[in-house]
């Protein structure tokens, strides 16, 4: 048994926070040495680490009283009482401190409670004090009730009465007179905080919340912020708005917010009712006017708001937003222009101007606004504008260079192939087509060249790689509805030509039509259709249809899809007519450039025409490679 | 009355005190830094390439700032009148963050030292007055080691004993002295009929204050006499215009119009004044209620039968008729009420004069609400400062050289929300009303204001320092109401703010009033060895001085509760002319002697081991501080006078 005690004691000593104990010990040492401020600092830091040490907390509280910090002392005692609520004498101390520090209602309540306590001395002191306080309050309340009857139009009389009633814990009575005082002097919005306080004590939580809600939406920032401190984190319910409006009927922002809340809840009829009521109270409220105009679809009212817009930009901003949301782009443009003229530093308006012009296909104007909005100090606005600017700029530049490269490995050919192109496109105003210069690369690793060249000797057009660089000049149409046409003339330089016995440089003419379109976002489908004439392929014309259907997780790095591809030609050559299908995935890793991704496709294919000897009609191919493209 | 709220608003536009100063410069000036030192503390705002290079990066978040919290008083909401959007900053570790946005925690005030320079960064501009958004800029400067070079030691505070009965008195008094407080005005009515314990407590407070060189005044708040008097003499209760006992807020008003009640009140008060070692009495706010004036009969006084009789005689009509809107009686009623207030004030001054005759060091002060800037106070309260100033001076002209009572002007609640510039304006409104302008003093109410004020309800930090600084530039004496409302964080900065340091360039100092200035090692002032010193500080008189390191004197004597007007070197030491409203003290850690009125006096040692000599109240008193016999002064030293 003794061993167990020793063990327990050792455990207790070892597990006790030595450093904290040290701080508290030092606090007591400083206290004995008359170093009061130092002792207070040590108590404070010691109690932070050991908050449950009620004894030390009480000593700290009494030290704070010696230092003249009565409010802080009261709070320390309150915490100690939460830990040790059975300490009746300490409750008495707390009640007196509440009285000293302007928390008289709390003090009154504690004295009242302590009248029935066990400790006789405490009971007597509390009873005597309570009787004295209560009698004084009764007389004062009676006197101010009389004053309120005779001089009922004085807000300060009702305020005085409310405070006395609150001191006497008559919460409902106090609420009544605070409300009257607020009614007489609505500009003194701190009454709403008083109402909230006493309503909460009266357990009328809805009224308390309504008062805080009204206070938090008012013009007085101090009161509003105090109210926000006391409110719950959740957004208020509709009925709480309605209570708050009853309590503070002239509160325009409060009514307006309720209207917007109804709109957000798709309750347009209710919203209209709220905005119309608001307009009856405040006929000049442009925001409400704008909402009513939209809800009623009245262009006359809209024009009225816009006219007044100079004086109330927020209403015009709201009009612009609404117009954009509803697709009234020309109206939006008008309102946004008005906002921007009145407030040249409104970067959000600039951004919206950019988008509106963009949606109206006026990209030259759009890019100007995006460029300006990039300077916004709001990183969100600046980022969005910057992205929009970067996306638009290439399309509007006098010339644009696009490069792409596609190296990949094919299991069917056991070979690595690389295709690439750099194309500089010129935009000449007034010219319907765009001239361009192009350089293409068609290459392979050369691992199975003998196989490809084969017994026939010469490189056949069926090979996947020509080992050539093709330089040319051409023209292309702008893309409209996904469709564009192009044609170019140039020369192909075959860098394997010596061994293969053919001419090293050959003329190259090619032309085509391309259609590309994507649909959907999460689940998507993209299709590319090409018809390409190639002079070097025996003046053949090839037709490609490449389709992908897949699923993408938002912002995810992976994209899964299914391929269905069809290739045909005009000359009905066996190698050029096949169909292939199979799954694929594409991976983009965020830190890498946006235009770079890896892909893997597994395809099953069938030649559609009888094949040359030695070539199987059915094939499988695993293709793994990367794609990189960028535009400058 | 001080605690009353009122619905009045003053819309008068005050001229800017220092149009040439930027808000930042106002803060530096109020902190007590001379313009020559301003470059040491640099202010950076928002984001720029400079702030970027100093380690303040742009974060990703934009925050709308409506409220901030400062480490100086983390529990205190600092609310901005107009919210402002800022991009949250990312600070390098060299920066100490002093304040953050309340809800998102974005830093908004930070500081660091770079060599000798102190950098303070704020996320936004600091506002027109310099304290609307970041009230604790001065505290941030203090944390970064910025020290005001001069400190005043002549502040007065009103002391509400009910808040402090359990305080450690020596600790409290010592703290006052460190804060530059030289006198306290104690709620005397709380000690009428006090228990022996409470009475001993007051005696101890006075004793301890005197030991620290702090004068203690009995603050009177007539027509309130005391709670005891109110209970004992219900027949003497003043009435409101609705006929109720005039118990308004904490004041229980007595009918002083009735001669019998006035005599009873006088007996009570004079007994209280004779029972303790008071240094003086402050006859405070002796006029009527309330700030709401005729608009609220429930608070309107005096309306006892005696008062009504007085008004009836003056008006030849029922005074109740004056409450009717646009009553023709109103102007005559207002005049009669102001006249009555002035009459009572003069009667009570005469009663206090008796006490002054018994105790020559006893001082008398008047606290009177301003009715020159906010002229509605005359109608609301019956306050008429011009009438009272004239009456007190007329009464005193019989004796040549009379010092008229200090006239402490209280700025009314209605103007508490106006900026610090108001003290210059108030001062200007009183020019010409007194033959002794130096008797004018100002009383600042440091309390929660009922107006919509930002960023704090009660003045603190930069706002408080600007108030004190501006008040001290315009009045010789500044009083603060009240002692317990002054925050621990503000207290150490008040003395610097109250100092009248005009310029400091190297060894050259220019002061508009006496102040302690920080020096290191022994110094000579204007070529003289200078004995008026304490650890690390010299007491300089108003004027220009050259302070140079030198051999200095080994004697260091600290004058307390007096103003040195001039100092001359004599064959045996130093002769000084001083002004003191009450008794004053010279204190040193070494023994010393003075010659006062031809009589040589040796300092006595007190319980702390300090050597003390008490000096009498004087308008232009003289004493000679004698250097010790072991240190005779060279005979060839010229007699020099400190330049004023």
What residues of chain A lie within 8 A of the CB of B484, using their CB? 68
DSSP class of A16: S
Q: Looking at A86-95, A161-170, A428-437, B66-75, which range is the least confident one?
A: A428-437
Interface of A with B in 40-99 (CB under 8 A): 65-70
According to DSSP, the residues that pair with B269 across neighbouring strands are none
* CA of A250 vs chain B CAs: smallest distance (Å): 19
Q: The whole model's pTM is what?
A: 0.77
A591 touches chain B (CB under 8 A): no
Nearest to B612 by CA among B632, B630, B631, B594: B594
A408/A621 Cα distance (integer angstroms)? 12
**What would the two tokens of residue B600 be?**
């040589």
- B643: pLDDT confidence band, cut at 50, 70 and 90? very low
Instruction: Check residue B349 and give its pLDDT.
Output: 95
Q: Looking at A219-228, A585-594, B476-485, which range is the least confident one?
A: A585-594
Non-local CB neighbours of B314 within 8 Å, separated by 6+ positions: B332, B336, B339
Distance from the Cα of residue A491 to its chain's centroid: 53
What residues of chain B lie within 8 A of the CB of A150, using their CB? 242, 298
Non-local CB neighbours of B326 within 8 Å, separated by 6+ positions: none
Instruction: Check residue B500 and give its pLDDT.
Output: 97
Convert the pLDDT of each residue in B501-547 to its tens digit: 999 999 999 999 999 999 987 789 999 989 999 999 999 999 999 99
**What would the two tokens of residue B281 be?**
């009495």
**What would the two tokens of residue A615 be?**
């070539």
What residues of chain A lie within 8 A of the CB of B297, using their CB? 151
Convert the pLDDT of each residue in B222-232 to its tens digit: 999 999 999 99
The residue in chain B having the minimum alpha-carbon distance to the alpha carbon of residue A62 is B166
Instruction: Check residue B352 and give its pLDDT.
Output: 95
A84/A78 Cα distance (integer angstroms)? 10
Whether residue A313 is predicted with pLDDT greater than 80 in this model: the reply is no
Q: How far is CA A2 from CA A5, A7, A12, in A?
A: 5, 9, 15
- A459: pLDDT confidence band, cut at 50, 70 and 90? very low
A36 touches chain B (CB under 8 A): yes
Backbone angles phi, psi at A421, to 5 degrees: -155, 140
B441/A467 Cα distance (integer angstroms)? 100
Interchain contact, B242 vs A150, CB within 8 Å:
yes
DSSP class of B404: P
Nearest-CB residue to B60 (from A100, A146, A379): A379
Whether residue A558 is predicted with pLDDT greater than 90 in this model: the reply is no
B174/B610 Cα distance (integer angstroms)? 14
Instruction: Check residue A312 and give its pLDDT.
Output: 66
What residues of chain A lie within 8 A of the CB of B75, using their CB? none
Convert the pLDDT of each residue in A167-212 to its tens digit: 999 999 999 999 999 999 999 999 999 999 999 999 999 999 999 9
Convert the pLDDT of each residue in A111-149 to its tens digit: 999 999 999 999 999 999 999 999 999 999 999 999 999
A564/A551 Cα distance (integer angstroms)? 15
* CA of A321 vs chain B CAs: smallest distance (Å): 21
Secondary structure class of A596 (helix, strand, coil)? strand
Non-local CB neighbours of A566 within 8 Å, separated by 6+ positions: A543, A544, A545, A578, A579
What residues of chain A lie within 8 A of the CB of B85, using their CB? 377-378
Q: Which ranges of B156-284 would DSSP assign to H, the alpha helix?
A: 169-178, 196-211, 227-232, 259-275
Q: Which ranges of B359-421 would DSSP assign to H, the alpha helix?
A: 377-381, 385-396
Whether residue B483 is predicted with pLDDT greater than 50 in this model: the reply is yes
Nearest to A366 by CA among A378, A345, A380, A352: A352
HEC profile of B83-106: EEEEEEEEECCCCEEEEEECCCCC
Q: How would you label B492-507 residue by residue, b for 16+ Cβ within 10 Å and e otherwise? A: bbbbbbbbbbbebeee
Interchain contact, B296 vs A377, CB within 8 Å:
no
**What would the two tokens of residue A457 be?**
């000797």
First to last CA, chain A: 86
Maximal CA-CA distance, chain B: 80
**What would the two tokens of residue A360 be?**
């109206």
Interchain contact, B171 vs A140, CB within 8 Å:
no
A441/A436 Cα distance (integer angstroms)? 16
Backbone angles phi, psi at A430, to 5 degrees: 90, -15
**What would the two tokens of residue B405 be?**
């009572």
Is A208 within 8 Å of A218 (Cβ atoms)? Answer: no
Q: Please give the torsion angle defined by the CA atoms of residues A503, A509, A513 and A514, in that order, rounded to the nearest 10 degrees.
A: 50
Q: Could you list the beta-strand ranges (E) of A445-535.
A: 468-476, 483-494, 505-519, 523-534
Whether residue A11 is predicted with pLDDT greater than 90 in this model: the reply is no
Is B460 within 8 Å of B135 (Cβ atoms)? Answer: yes
Q: How far is CA B133 from CA A290, A410, B280, in A?
A: 34, 67, 41
User: What value does the mean pLDDT take over residues B588-611?
Assistant: 93
According to DSSP, the residues that pair with A514 across neighbouring strands are A484, A530
The residue in chain A having the minimum alpha-carbon distance to the alpha carbon of residue B299 is A157
Interchain contact, A379 vs B298, CB within 8 Å:
no
More confident residue, B587 or B401: B587
Secondary structure class of B611 (helix, strand, coil)? strand
Q: How would you label B376-406 residue by residue, b for 16+ Cβ within 10 Å and e otherwise? A: bbbbbbbbbbbbbbebbbeebeeeeeebbbb
Place of tokens 């501080």: B625
What are the residues of chain B with a beta carbon less than 8 Å away from any beta carbon of chain A? 5, 7, 47, 58-62, 66-67, 77, 79-83, 85, 87, 102, 162-164, 166-168, 171-172, 242, 244-245, 247, 292, 295-299, 452-454, 457, 484, 488
A402/A425 Cα distance (integer angstroms)? 8
Backbone angles phi, psi at A122, to 5 degrees: -65, -45
More confident residue, B602 or A14: B602
Angle at B120 between CA B117 and CA B124, to 5 degrees: 150
What residues of chain B lie within 8 A of the CB of A379, using their CB? 58-62, 87
Is the bond into B539 cis (omega within 30 degrees of 0)?
no
User: What value does the mean pLDDT take over residues B226-244?
Assistant: 97
Sheet holding B117-122, edge to edge: B41-45, B117-122, B107-114, B96-101, B56-70, B78-91
B141/B224 Cα distance (integer angstroms)? 43
- B17: pLDDT confidence band, cut at 50, 70 and 90? very low
The residue in chain B having the minimum alpha-carbon distance to the alpha carbon of residue A379 is B60
Q: Looking at A257-271, A443-457, B149-163, B519-533, which range is the least confident one?
A: A443-457
Which of A30, A38, A68 to mutate: most B Cβ within 10 Å? A68
**Residue A420: left if φ>0, alpha if ψ -120 to 50, beta else—which one?**
beta
Interchain contact, A379 vs B5, CB within 8 Å:
no
Is A199 within 8 Å of A165 (Cβ atoms)? Answer: no
Which secondary-structure segment (H or E) carries B45? Answer: strand B41-45
Nearest-CB residue to A151 (from B168, B298, B453): B298
Nearest to A370 by CA among A383, A385, A357, A356: A385
Interchain contact, B298 vs A185, CB within 8 Å:
no
Interchain contact, A151 vs B296, CB within 8 Å:
yes
What residues of chain B lie within 8 A of the CB of A380, using their CB? 62
Convert the pLDDT of each residue in A472-528 to its tens digit: 999 999 888 889 999 999 998 877 654 555 557 888 899 999 998 888 766 778 899
Interchain contact, B457 vs A222, CB within 8 Å:
yes
Interchain contact, B66 vs A225, CB within 8 Å:
yes
What residues of chain A lie within 8 A of the CB of B295, using their CB? 154
* A345 CB neighbour count, 10 Å cutoff: 10
- Residues in chain B, total: 644
Q: How would you label A56-91 residue by residue, b for 16+ Cβ within 10 Å and e otherwise? A: bbbbbbebbbbbbbbebbbbbbbbbbeeeeebbebb
Instruction: Check residue A554 and give its pLDDT.
Output: 57
Interchain contact, A140 vs B247, CB within 8 Å:
yes
B416/B444 Cα distance (integer angstroms)? 9
The residue in chain B having the minimum alpha-carbon distance to the alpha carbon of residue A154 is B296
Q: Which DSSP string corresponds to B164-182?
A: TTTS-HHHHHHHHHHTTEE
Q: Looking at A23-32, A167-176, A367-376, which range is the least confident one?
A: A367-376
Q: Please give the torsion angle defined by the CA atoms of residues A43, A45, A51 and A57, in that order, rounded to the nearest 10 degrees.
A: 10
Secondary structure class of B67 (helix, strand, coil)? strand
Q: How far is CA A600 from CA A553, A562, A583, in A?
A: 18, 11, 9
Is B12 within 8 Å of B372 (Cβ atoms)? Answer: no
Interchain contact, B168 vs A147, CB within 8 Å:
no
A158/A351 Cα distance (integer angstroms)? 53
Interchain contact, A379 vs B242, CB within 8 Å:
no
Whether residue B642 is predicted with pLDDT greater than 70 in this model: the reply is no
ipTM: 0.91
Instruction: Check residue A213 and give its pLDDT.
Output: 97
Secondary structure class of A96 (helix, strand, coil)? helix
Whether residue A335 is predicted with pLDDT greater than 90 in this model: the reply is no
Interchain contact, A221 vs B172, CB within 8 Å:
no
Mean pLDDT (chain B) is 91
What residues of chain B lie within 8 A of the CB of A229, using their CB? 77
């Amino acid at each position: 048994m003794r061993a167990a005690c020793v063990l327990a004691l050792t455990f207790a000593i070892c597990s006790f926070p030595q450093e904290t104990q040290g701080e508290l010990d030092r606090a007591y040492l400083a206290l004995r040495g008359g170093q009061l401020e130092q002792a207070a600092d040590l108590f404070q830091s010691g109690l932070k680490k050991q908050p449950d040490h009620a004894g030390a907390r009480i000593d700290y509280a009494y030290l704070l009283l010696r230092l003249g910090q009565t409010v802080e002392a009261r709070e320390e005692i309150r915490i100690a009482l939460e830990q040790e609520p059975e300490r009746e004498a300490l409750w008495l101390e707390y009640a007196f401190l509440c009285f000293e520090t302007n928390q008289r209602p709390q003090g009154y309540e504690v004295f009242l409670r302590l009248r029935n306590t066990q400790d006789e001395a405490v009971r007597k002191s509390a009873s005597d004090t309570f009787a004295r306080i209560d009698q004084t309050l009764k007389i004062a309340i009676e006197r101010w009730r009389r004053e309120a009857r005779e001089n009922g139009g004085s807000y300060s009389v009702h305020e005085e009465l409310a405070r006395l009633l609150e001191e006497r814990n008559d919460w409902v009575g106090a609420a009544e007179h605070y409300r009257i005082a607020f009614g007489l002097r609505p500009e003194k919005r701190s009454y709403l905080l008083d109402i909230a306080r006493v309503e909460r004590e009266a357990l009328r939580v809805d009224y308390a919340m309504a008062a805080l809600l009204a206070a938090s939406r008012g013009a007085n920032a101090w009161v509003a912020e105090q109210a926000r401190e006391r409110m719950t984190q959740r957004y208020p319910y509709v009925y709480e708005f309605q209570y708050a409006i009853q309590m503070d009927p002239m509160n325009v922002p409060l009514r307006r917010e309720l209207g917007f809340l109804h709109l957000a809840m798709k309750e347009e009829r209710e919203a209209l009712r709220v905005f119309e009521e608001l307009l009856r109270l405040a006929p000049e409220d442009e925001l409400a006017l704008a909402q009513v105009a939209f809800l009623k679809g009245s262009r006359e009212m809209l024009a009225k708001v816009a006219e007044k817009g100079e004086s109330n930009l927020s209403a015009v901003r709201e009009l612009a937003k609404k117009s954009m949301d509803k697709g009234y782009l020309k109206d939006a443009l008008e309102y946004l222009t008005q906002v921007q003229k009145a407030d040249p530093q409104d970067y959000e308006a600039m951004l919206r101007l950019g988008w509106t012009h963009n949606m109206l296909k006026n990209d030259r104007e759009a890019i100007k606004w995006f460029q300006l909005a990039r300077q916004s100090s709001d990183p969100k606005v600046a980022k969005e504008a910057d992205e929009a600017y970067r996306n638009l700029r290439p399309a509007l530049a006098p010339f644009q260079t696009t490069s792409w490269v596609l190296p990949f490995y094919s299991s069917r050919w056991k070979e690595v192939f690389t295709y690439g192109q750099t194309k500089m496109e010129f935009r000449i105003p007034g010219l319907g087509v765009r001239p361009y210069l192009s350089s293409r690369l068609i290459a392979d690793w050369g691992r199975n060249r003998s196989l490809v060249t084969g017994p026939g000797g010469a490189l056949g057009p069926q090979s996947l790689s020509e080992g050539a660089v093709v330089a040319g000049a051409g023209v292309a149409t702008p893309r409209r509805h996904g469709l564009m046409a192009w044609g170019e003339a140039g020369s192909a330089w075959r860098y394997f030509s010596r061994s293969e016995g053919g001419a090293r440089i050959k003329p190259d003419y090619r032309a085509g039509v391309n259609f590309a379109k994507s649909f959907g976002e999460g689940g998507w489908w993209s299709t590319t259709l090409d018809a390409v004439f190639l002079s070097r392929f025996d003046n053949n014309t090839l037709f490609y249809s490449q389709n992908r259907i897949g699923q993408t997780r938002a912002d995810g790095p992976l994209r899964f899809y299914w391929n269905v591809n069809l290739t045909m030609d005009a000359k009905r050559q066996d190698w050029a007519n096949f169909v292939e299908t199979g799954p694929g995935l594409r991976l983009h890793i965020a830190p890498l450039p946006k235009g770079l991704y890896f892909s893997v496709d597994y395809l099953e294919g069938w030649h559609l025409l009888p094949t040359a000897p030695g070539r199987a009609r059915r094939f499988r191919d695993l293709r793994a490679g990367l794609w990189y493209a960028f535009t400058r | 009355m001080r605690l009353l709220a009122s619905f009045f608003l003053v819309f008068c536009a005050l001229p800017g005190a220092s149009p040439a100063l930027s808000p930042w410069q106002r803060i530096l000036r109020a902190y007590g830094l001379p313009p020559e030192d301003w470059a040491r503390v640099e202010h950076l705002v928002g984001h720029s390439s400079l702030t970027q290079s100093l380690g303040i990066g742009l974060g990703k978040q934009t925050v709308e700032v409506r409220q901030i919290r400062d480490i100086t008083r983390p529990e205190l909401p600092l609310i901005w009148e107009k919210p402002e959007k800022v991009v949250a900053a990312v600070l390098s570790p060299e920066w100490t963050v002093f304040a953050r946005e309340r809800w998102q925690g974005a830093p908004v005030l930070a500081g660091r030292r770079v060599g000798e320079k102190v950098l303070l960064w704020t996320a936004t501009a600091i506002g027109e007055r310099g304290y609307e958004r970041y009230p604790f800029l001065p505290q941030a400067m203090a944390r970064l080691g910025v020290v005001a070079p001069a400190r005043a030691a002549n502040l007065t505070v009103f002391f509400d004993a009910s808040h402090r009965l359990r305080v450690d008195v020596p600790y409290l008094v010592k703290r006052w002295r460190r804060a530059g407080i030289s006198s306290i005005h104690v709620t005397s009515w709380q000690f009428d009929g006090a228990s022996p314990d409470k009475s001993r407590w007051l005696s101890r407070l006075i004793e301890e204050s005197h030991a620290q060189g702090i004068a203690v005044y009995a603050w009177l708040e007539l027509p309130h006499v005391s709670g005891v008097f109110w209970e004992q003499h219900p027949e003497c209760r003043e009435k409101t215009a609705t006929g109720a006992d005039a118990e308004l807020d904490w004041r229980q008003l007595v009918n002083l119009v009735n001669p019998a009640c006035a005599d009873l009140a006088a007996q009570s008060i004079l007994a209280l004044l004779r029972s303790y070692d008071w240094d003086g009495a402050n006859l405070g706010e002796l006029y009527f209620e309330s700030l709401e004036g005729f608009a609220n009969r429930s608070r309107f006084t005096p309306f006892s039968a005696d008062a009504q009789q007085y008004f009836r005689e003056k008006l030849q009509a029922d005074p109740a008729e004056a409450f009717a809107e646009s009553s023709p009686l109103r102007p005559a009623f207002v005049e009669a009420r102001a006249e009555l207030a002035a009459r009572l004030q003069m009667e009570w001054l005469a009663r206090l004069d008796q006490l002054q005759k018994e105790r020559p060091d006893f001082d008398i002060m008047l606290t009177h609400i301003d009715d020159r800037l906010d002229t509605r106070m005359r109608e609301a309260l019956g306050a008429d400062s011009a009438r009272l100033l004239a009456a007190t001076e007329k009464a005193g002209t019989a004796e040549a050289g009379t010092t008229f009572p200090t006239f402490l002007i209280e700025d009314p609640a209605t103007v508490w929300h106006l900026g610090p510039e108001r003290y210059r304006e108030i001062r200007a409104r009183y020019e010409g009303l007194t033959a002794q302008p130096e008797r004018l003093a100002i009383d600042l109410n440091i309390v929660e204001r009922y107006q919509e004020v930002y960023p704090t309800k009660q003045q603190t930090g930069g706002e408080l320092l600007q108030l004190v600084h501006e008040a001290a530039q315009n009045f010789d004496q500044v009083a603060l109401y009240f002692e317990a409302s002054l925050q621990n964080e503000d207290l150490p900065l008040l003395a610097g703010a109250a100092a009248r340091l005009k310029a400091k360039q190297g060894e050259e100092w220019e002061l508009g009033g006496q102040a302690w200035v920080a020096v290191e090692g022994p110094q000579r002032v204007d070529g003289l060895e200078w004995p008026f010193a304490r650890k690390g500080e010299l007491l300089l008189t108003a004027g220009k001085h050259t302070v140079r390191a030198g051999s200095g004197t080994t004697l260091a004597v600290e004058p307390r509760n007096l103003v040195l007007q001039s100092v001359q070197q004599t064959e045996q030491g130093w002769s000084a002319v001083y002004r003191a409203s009450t008794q004053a003290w010279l204190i040193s850690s070494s023994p010393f002697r003075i010659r006062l009125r031809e009589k040589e006096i040796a300092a006595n040692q007190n319980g702390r081991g300090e050597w003390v000599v008490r000096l009498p109240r004087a308008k232009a008193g003289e004493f000679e501080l004698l250097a010790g016999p072991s240190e005779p002064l060279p005979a060839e030293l010229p007699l020099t006078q400190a330049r004023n």
